[in-house]
Amino acid sequence: MTIPSMTSPHTKGWLADFLLLAAIWGSSFLFMRLAAVELGALPTAAIRVSIAAAFLLPLMLAKGHWPALRQHWKPVLFVGVLNSGIPFVLYSFAVLHISTGFSSILNATVPLFGALVAWVWLGDKPSVSRTLGLAIGFGGVVLLAGGQASFKPNASGIAPAWAVMACLAATTCYALAASFTKKHIPSLPPLVTATGSQIGASLALFFPALWFHPDHWPSRSVWLSLLIVGVLCTGVAYILYFRLIEHAGPARALTVTFLVPVFAIAYGVVFLAESVTPWMLLCGAVILLGTALSSGLVKLPGR
């Protein structure tokens, strides 16, 4: 197998961004849980994207990108619903009923589902190596879900299997959004797509979040969690991610997905006293291997 080199004369210039981005995205599961316990899934997701939109909009305007967003606002806002609005609701629900580490491992299947959707929708037929990766990755998901989730309600009154299905539905949304962007959205400055998508998600979640609003004012710790997940884990993370693509290339940038569960599991163990089983780690490794093959980041010789 061959793996894209992570070393170059300019490695030190982007490696810090790479590690920081993985650490930030890994913490998003923790802060979503801290907020969702008190607010519920819909209000948590709605406030998260609204804060991110408020953070990114001045930056986009300062760059003079408003005309680009105004010209392409329909597909950009729609992809925000698919790429942020729905997935954030699903993950905010999931972390209430399964561990944040478990959720992060399932989130690492995004490139796996992306390859499958691109194959079905865009006709991007995978090579033998990538097809094998799809099979391995989905096998790992089945093993992980079968070993960790059941349809018997837990202490929260919700069966863990529903949370697993929510995570997989969220990763499917990410995959659909990626193919939709490739097919329907022209080459736009990344900050335009990032800002417009958060605006679209905010508009889509506004009224549902009002309907499911909590009956009490959130505590200061919840507001702090929302500010962190909105500004840091969404707004700043987007900036880091796009800068990473620019400096290291999209292939290397995509590998950050594999490091996110490491941080998410560590945060869950330290701050939420979550347990990690050997089976969970083994299945996670299988999923990551399949994802690496299916996304083309790792290739079999001659394939």
Q: 3-12, 66-75, 97-106: lowest mean pLDDT where?
A: 3-12
pTM, whole model, 2 decimals? 0.85
What is the per-residue pLDDT for 250? Answer: 62
Measured distance CA(238)–CA(201) in Å, rounded: 15
In the predicted model, what is the mean pLDDT of the chain?
85
What is the per-residue pLDDT for 188? Answer: 84
Phi and psi (nearest 5°) for 274?
-75, 150
Q: Do the beta carbons of residue 248 and residue 60 sit within 8 Å?
A: no
What average pLDDT score do residues 61-85 get?
94
Q: Which residue would you say has higher pLDDT here, 119 or 58?
A: 58
- Delimit the domains of the chain by residue range: 13-294
pLDDT band at 9 (very low <50, low <70, confident <90, very high): very low
Q: Do the beta carbons of residue 101 and residue 211 sit within 8 Å?
A: no
Q: Is the pLDDT of residue 136 over 60?
A: yes
What is the per-residue pLDDT for 122? Answer: 78
Measured distance CA(226)–CA(139) in Å, rounded: 35
Per DSSP, 63 falls in state T
What is the per-residue pLDDT for 118? Answer: 81
Measured distance CA(30)–CA(160) in Å, rounded: 18
pLDDT band at 7 (very low <50, low <70, confident <90, very high): very low
pLDDT band at 12 (very low <50, low <70, confident <90, very high): low
pLDDT band at 36 (very low <50, low <70, confident <90, very high): very high
pLDDT in tens, 99-130: 898 898 888 888 778 888 888 887 877 788 87
pLDDT in tens, 207-257: 999 898 888 888 999 999 999 999 999 989 888 887 787 777 665 676 787
What is the per-residue pLDDT for 2? Answer: 47
What is the per-residue pLDDT for 170? Answer: 94
pLDDT in tens, 142-186: 788 766 665 666 666 778 889 999 999 999 998 888 888 888 887
What average pLDDT score do residues 15-25 get?
89
Measured distance CA(171)–CA(257) in Å, rounded: 12
Q: Is the pLDDT of residue 65 over 50?
A: yes
pLDDT band at 71 (very low <50, low <70, confident <90, very high): very high
